[in-house]
Amino acid sequence: MEIQLTLNGKAVKDQVGADTLLLDFVRKHGCYSVKRGCETSNCGLCTVLLDGKPVLSCSTLAARADGCSVTTLEGVQEKAEAIGRFLAGEGAEQCGFCSPGLIMNVIAMEQELSEPSEEEIREYLAGNLCRCTGYMGQMRAIGNYLNRKGEEQNG
Amino acid sequence: MDRTVRYVGSPVPKKDSMALVTGKPVYTDDIAPADCLVVKVLRSPYAHALIDEIHTETAGKVPGIVSILTWKDVPKKRFTMAGQTYPEPSPYDRLILDRRVRFVGDAVAIVAGETEEAVDKALKLIKVNYQVLTPVLDFRTAKDNEILVHPEDTWQSLCPVGADNRRNLVASGVDSHGDVDAVLAGCDYVIEETYHTKANQQAMMETFRTFTTMDPYGRLVVTASTQVPFHVRRIIAHALDIPKAKVRVIKPRIGGGFGAKQTVVAEVYPAIVTWLTGRPAKIIYSRYESQIASSPRHEMELKVRLGADKNGIIKAIDLYTLSNSGAFGEHGPTTVGLSGHKSIPLYAKAEAFRFAYDVVYTNRMSAGAYRGYGATQGLFAVESAVNELADRLHMDPVKLRELNMVREGDVMPAYYGETAGSCALDRCMARAKEMMDWDKKFPARDMGNGKVRAVGVAMSMQGSAISGVDVGSVTLKLNDDGFYSLMIGAADMGTGCDTTLAQIAADCLCCDLDNIIVHGVDTDVSPYDSGSYASSTAYLTGGAVVKTCDTMIKKIMEKGAEYLGASMEEVDFDGKRVYCLDGSREISLRDIGNQAMCNNGLALEATESNTSPVSPPPFMVGMAEVEVDMETGKTELLDYVAVVDCGTPLNPNIARVQTEGGLSQGIGMAMYEDVTYSAQGRVLEDSFMQYKIPTRQDVGTIRVEFESSYEKTGPFGAKSIGEVVINTPSPAIASAVAHATGVYVRELPITPEKIYKGMVEHS
Amino acid sequence: MFKAREYVRVKSLEEAWNLNQKKSNVIVGGMMWLKMGRGQKGTVIDLSGLGLDTIEETEEAFSIGCMCTLRQLELHEGLNKEFDGIFRECTRHIVGTQFRNGATVGGSVFGRYGFSDILTCLLALDSYVELYQGGVIPLVQFTSMPYDRDVLVRIVIKKDGRKAAYLSQRNTQTDFPLIACAAGKMGDDWYVSIGARPKRAAVYRISGTGKKADELAREAASMFEYGSNLRGSGEYRAHLANVYVRRLIETIEKREA
């Protein structure tokens, strides 16, 4: 079947199977930042924004995304650099394999929560697993990133 | 030249960090050619069986199927998948495909096809008649069992590790010092307990994966997510029975390893397909495969006898370890050694010790290397026994350790007789105590709401590389405009060694960090390195960087002197230029680099290798504060404090995150990570849905500080950090739970149910 | 992941129902659990074009479209206000935000999964399911019905003034529950539902007249059967049920006082 969607701001038209997963679709279209870490919807590595909401592209049919807007890290490179710089500043990207999914969800969190507490951040991002860092460095980085943003707005 | 420390000890970001955080295609699957054949493995549904017949004709007719291989199609020379220095201590007990299958998930056939759909279809159409055999599932009954996991005559052990396939033994041995029985008999207190640690999955986010191609010279190019590129080259050559010269291994960016990728878990499957078909091939392990057919931590049962006098002086330690190697022997003979050699020496003042062990085959998933590598298991047992001794003596376990811990200058009989040349364990303990506010919190506080908060402590040590075995080599090249290429064979798998080694080089060469370029490993290009395991890279390859820089500087000075028309004795090098000591003339590094590309007979290139007769241990102290719901046993980890002596932390950010990450894995191991089996031998935790690793809501607060000693045999005083950090959570949390409830959980993980049941029995 | 031949975003419930009569066809909600199945499906039936993704509140009830996500339940102010935040409490531990943005209420309820927090929670309230053919039936009746080919359209929760609370214990914060308990109170009657036993949730109504919290909890917890799985033994679950039901009762009573 043919679907048409907006991928990172560009119209994309393609044939997909009824069972094609959005994850495989976006990788096929060059969005290699989107990773698969499990088959059971547990790891968050495949997080993309579907009409602005963070979803697991491993559990979403490409067909269902027909007519929708899909954003991957490739489409928000400036943000990725801005948030990523804080992660790198803590050494908290480590192997980096979970970083794209995490950053996508941080972007979603920024839009959804204003001035989240540390506990709220932990809850919002709980579905983003990381095996390298023990999360503390990520939390420092995200905290610093959000604070900096706050300072910029206040200053 | 005068060296100033500019980068070592500085928290510079990793050189590849921006590529990683912006999601660039840098990992194995991202860079695999689009026309790779899809390779998958048909796996055994039985824990132990012989393949009577295997029919692949129908499967082979599925459109798009290119190759189906069975045990009949593979070389008959046994090898090991363990990434270790040759001759490997692990037995040669593998074939790529064997007629005998030895665990649920063992490889039965390899299918390669144009599309995943075709391969999946073909997998279902392969018909196998199995002669089902009785498996050996319980590792306590494996030794001298009449059922043999490896009865074959072609089984081979290359090293004297006490292996005997006719007894299901992967290794066995004993090491001792003094008369342990006599000393124990004279002790006022003897703790005698059995501890049981379980298999754990490394659960790196990037599963096992490899793609293979043929190059224009008829050689097999293996691009693998591995920690051990040079061992992969040898193992592939062994497995395929082809010359090593025919194999090239490339390591791109790696999505985590933690020891899992020190075993050649997946590489052989696409390699044989490409070798036989000439076509590019790729295997991507599913998470399911990574959970059921991989290389988890060795399950161990450890019996400890710990003797002390009435003042709390530890006199003797007797440890027996039984280790479950599963269906194959990878890392079996070596992991078990660390269970004793990296736990007992913490109490180097003991008069006697004995450490005996057996490592057995069973019909379970083969175990492998996981961060901590046996030390983790041994330290759970020994540190728990020490904590139990303290409780028995009604002594603060911190105080007990202050009385007994190894200190700088102590000889450690159980650590191959090495001397603790650098050791800040005492300072680590003092600082951890402060950070935790231990005196206020020990042992427990009733919160008045049905919950009790309590604290526990543990110590840990590891090594820095395998003494007398591991090799780290480095090549430096000076290029035009004076930039350097730093070539290493050590594998950065997210651990940051590409950056930390460049930091060392930049300080040795007195140049900007950006003036040094690094890249991934290519066995055709990179100098030999044993690989990134055994906590070796920072210490050993770091040492090689220092040596190589020294040689490089000499060459630069020699060339510079030549250009200046001076002798070596008349010039010096300050990182930017070679200049005459009398101030008369100078030439910049940039000009040397450029000029050397014309009419030059001296290669501005240096290679040095490093090896070490000692393996200086890093040390650390971990303290846990837990809150136990006394009605349900539910335990929350509130706070974890860790103070580490890794010598000089080369990059404090990377060292800190290594520590936090290792602790988090240790916390998972302590509290919920488990690998259990059905009665038929099938792994039950076969996904991230069932195998739970910590989320960011589960780790409480982890606080890390460093108390550095200076290791004079290490680069800039550095020792290792990667592994020592995983060892303390299990014993510290177990002891904290015991202080809250009186219940000692001696079998991991320490679940609420075990705590609850213990409390019921207790009352 | 299962394989499928066709995908149809249906234009009407009738179309969905008709397609769903073929055994090899399947309705996908969030597809979280469904995707773990293997095998060949015929047509994937997608209800996402029917506008069934809203929560409507009237004087009498909440009507929750089957395609509402768990995240919508979690964040819905009216629902959480009416029932003392139990929808937030019963959803916030489920895997992660992205998962809850995908998983649907219809999928959770239709699946009648043993581990379901949602089902446990809804059973303690006056809940109904609206089926395309079967009409509106009490949820408690639906939980004991065999899986059929009907289409679940909406969940309806009556505002009967019930006070409610929810608790679960999990091995990690976002794991399946080891035990899930919900309690609702109407006058002197208690509705106690327990899920993840590990069997599917059930509910019992118990009169609370003259009973102390611990007596009531013992009575309630003893009405259920408990079994063992990876996450815990039946014996432990029975103990936990007792503890958590008592805590729920105490919580609600404290709130009332």
- Is the distance from CB of B98 to CB of B71 less than 8 angstroms? yes
Kindly tell me if the per-residue pLDDT of A93 is higher than 70.
yes
Q: Distance between CA atoms of C237 and C180, rounded to whole angstroms?
A: 10
CB neighbours (10 Å) of residue B245? 10
Question: Which residues in chain C are contacts of A1 at CB distance < 8 A?
Answer: 6-7
**Mean pLDDT, residues A77-86 taken together:** 98
Residues of A in contact with C43 (CB under 8 A): 18
Query: Which residues lie across from B606 on neighbouring strands?
Result: B476
* Span C129-151, pLDDT tens digits: 999 999 999 999 999 999 999 99
**Please, what is the angle between helix B752-762 and helix B729-741, to 10°?**
40
Nearest by CB to B695, from C169, C172, C230: name it: C172
Partner-chain contact C99 A59, CB within 8 Å: yes
Assess whether A24 and A91 both reside in one domain.
no
> Within this chain, do residues A6 and A48 fall inside the same structural domain, yes or no?
yes
Q: What is the pLDDT of residues B166-199, one digit of tens each?
A: 999 999 999 999 999 999 999 999 999 999 999 9
Query: Which among B288, B199, B212 has a CA at the least distance from the CA of B250?
Result: B212
- CATH code where residue A108 lies: 1.10.150.120
CATH number of the CATH domain containing A44 = 3.10.20.30
Question: What one-character DSSP code corresponds to residue B736?
Answer: H
Q: Residue B444 gets which letter from DSSP?
A: E
Domain count, chain A: 2
| Chain centre distance of CA B660 | 16
Nearest Cβ partner of C44 from A56, A61, A108? A61
Dihedral sign (CA B738, B744, B750, B754): negative
In chain C, whose CA is at the least distance from the CA of B684? Answer: C230
| Rounded distance between C-alpha atoms, residue C4 and residue A19, angstroms | 5
Which residue in chain A has the smallest CA separation from B253?
A: A95
Query: Does B449 lie at the interface with C, CB-CB under 8 angstroms?
Result: no
- CATH architecture of the domain B420-462+616-763 equals 2-Layer Sandwich (3.30)
Closest Cα in chain B to A76: B22
Backbone angles phi, psi at B645, to 5 degrees: -110, 95
Residues A52 and A81 in one domain: no
CA distance C254 to C233: 31
The domain boundary, picked from A55, A74, A93, lies at: A74
Instruction: Give me the pLDDT at residue B3, please.
Output: 73
Q: What digits encode the pLDDT tens for the residues C195-254? A: 999 999 999 999 999 999 999 999 999 999 999 999 999 999 999 999 999 999 999 999
**Domain's final residue, options A74, A107, A132:** A74
Q: Determine the pLDDT at residue A148.
A: 86
Angstrom distance (rounded) from CA C51 to CA B35: 42
**Least CB-CB distance to B631: which of C171, C176, C243?**
C243
Complete DSSP assignment for B630-650? TTT--EEEEEEEEEEE-BS-S
Question: B467-522 pLDDT, tens per residue?
Answer: 999 999 999 999 999 999 999 999 999 999 999 999 999 999 999 999 999 988 99
| B window 97-126, beta carbon within 8 A of C | 117
Specify the pLDDT at position B702.
98
Q: Are B119 and B112 in contact (CB under 8 A)?
A: yes
CB–CB contact B632 C232 (8 Å): no
Which chains have at least 3 CB atom pairs separated by less than 8 Å from chain C? Answer: A, B
Q: What is the CATH number of domain B17-25+467-610?
A: 3.30.365.10
Domain with CATH 3.30.365.10 in chain B: 17-25+467-610, 136-198+296-404, 420-462+616-763
Q: Is the pLDDT of residue A155 over 90?
A: no
ipTM: 0.97
Alpha carbons B616 and B724: distance in angstroms, whole number: 12
3-state secondary structure B188-212: CEEEEEEEEECCCCCCCCCCCEEEE
State the pLDDT at residue B206. Answer: 98
Interchain pair B204, A95: CB under 8 A = yes
Question: Other CB atoms closer than 10 Å to residue B666's CB: what's the count?
Answer: 34
- Whole-angstrom Cα distance, residue B330 to residue B264? 10
**C-beta atoms of B699 and A134 within 8 A:** yes
Residues in chain B with pLDDT < 50?
none
Comparing CA positions, the residue from B425, B426, B300, B429 lying closest to residue B375 is B300
Q: Residue A66 has which token pair?
A: 């027909």
End-to-end CA distance of chain A: 52
My answer on whether A87 and A46 are in the same domain is: no
Q: Are residues A60 and A82 in the same domain?
A: no
pLDDT at A63: 97
**CATH number listed for the domain at residues B32-133+202-292:** 3.90.1170.50
Residue pair B38/B116 in contact by the 8 Å Cβ criterion: yes
Q: Looking at CA atoms only, how far is residue C240 from chain A in angstroms?
A: 25
- Name every chain A residue with its beta carbon within 8 A of the beta carbon of C115: none
Contacts of B18 in chain A (CB under 8 A): 81, 84-85, 88
Mutate: best of A55, A112, A122, A131, partner C, most C CBs <10 A:
A55
Among C96, C174, C233, the residue with its CB nearest the CB of B753 is C233
Residues A108 and A39 in one domain: no
B90: Cα separation from own chain's centroid: 16
**Subunit contact A137:B24, Cβ cutoff 8 A:** no
The residue of chain B with its CA nearest to that of C174 is B695
- Could you say which DSSP state residue B758 is in? H
Tell me the C-alpha distance between B383 and B513, whole Å: 42
Q: Return the amino acid letter for A34.
A: V
Is it the case that residue A120 has pLDDT exceeding 80? yes
CATH class assigned to B136-198+296-404: alpha beta
Domains and CATH numbers, chain C: 3-46 (no CATH), 55-158 (3.30.465.10), 163-256 (3.30.390.50)
User: Which tokens in the block code for residue B495?
Assistant: 């651990």
Nearest Cα of chain A lies from the Cα of C151 at a distance, in angstroms, of: 19
Using an 8 Å Cβ cutoff, are B80 and B94 in contact?
yes
Q: Give the pair of three-digit tokens for residue C208.
A: 């609370």
Which residues from C are below 8 Å from B694, CB to CB?
Answer: 172
Indicate if A86 and A109 belong to the same structural domain. Answer: yes
| Start-to-end CA span in chain B (Å) | 71
> What pLDDT, on a 0 to 100 scale, did the predictor assign at position A154?
58
Pull the structure tokens for residue B452: 């009790």
Instruction: List subunits contacting chain B, requiring 3 or more Cβ pairs under 8 Å.
Output: A, C
Q: Tell me if chain B has a CB within 8 Å of the CB of C169.
A: yes
Residues 310-369 of B with CB under 8 A from C: none
Between CA B727 and CA B731 the distance in angstroms is 8
What is the distance, to the nearest Å, from the Cα of residue B726 to the centroid of all Cα atoms in its chain? 10
Q: Which residues does B217 contact at the CB level (< 8 Å), separation at least 6?
A: none
Chain A residues in contact with B286 by the CB 8 A cut-off are 39
CB atoms under 10 Å from CB of A15, counted, come to 8
Largest CA distance in chain C: 60
3-state secondary structure C159-187: CCCCEEEEEEEECCCCCCEEEEEEEEEEC
Using a CB-CB distance cutoff of 8 angstroms, which residues of chain B are in contact with residue C171?
672, 692, 751-752
Asked if B639 and B700 touch (Cβ cutoff 8 Å), the reply is yes
**Quick check: C196 and C94 in contact, CB under 8 A?**
no
**CATH 3.90.1170.50 residue window(s) in chain B:** 32-133+202-292
Q: How far apart are CA B428 and CA B434, in angstroms?
A: 10
Q: What are the pLDDT digits (tens) for B284-335?
A: 999 999 999 999 999 999 999 999 999 999 999 999 999 999 999 999 999 9
SS3 call for C132: coil
Closest to C35 (Cβ–Cβ): which among A59, A105, A126? A59
Give, for C55, the enclosing helix (H) or strand (E): strand C55-57
Domain shared by A92 and A141, yes or no: yes
Last residue of a domain, one of A14, A48, A74: A74
- Structural domain including A105 reads 76-154
Residues from chain B that touch C96, judged by Cβ atoms under 8 A, are 695
Interior angle at CA C16, CA C12 and CA C18, nearest 5: 115
Residue B45: both structure tokens together: 């549904």
Q: How far apart are CA B423 and CA B435, in angstroms?
A: 20
Confidence (pLDDT) at A150? 63
In the prediction, which pLDDT does A153 show?
61
**Which residues of A are less than 8 Å from C35 in CB distance?**
21, 39, 41, 58-59
Q: Which residues 680-719 on chain B approach chain C with CB closer than 8 angstroms?
A: 684-685, 689-690, 692-695, 697-698
State the DSSP code for B567. Answer: -
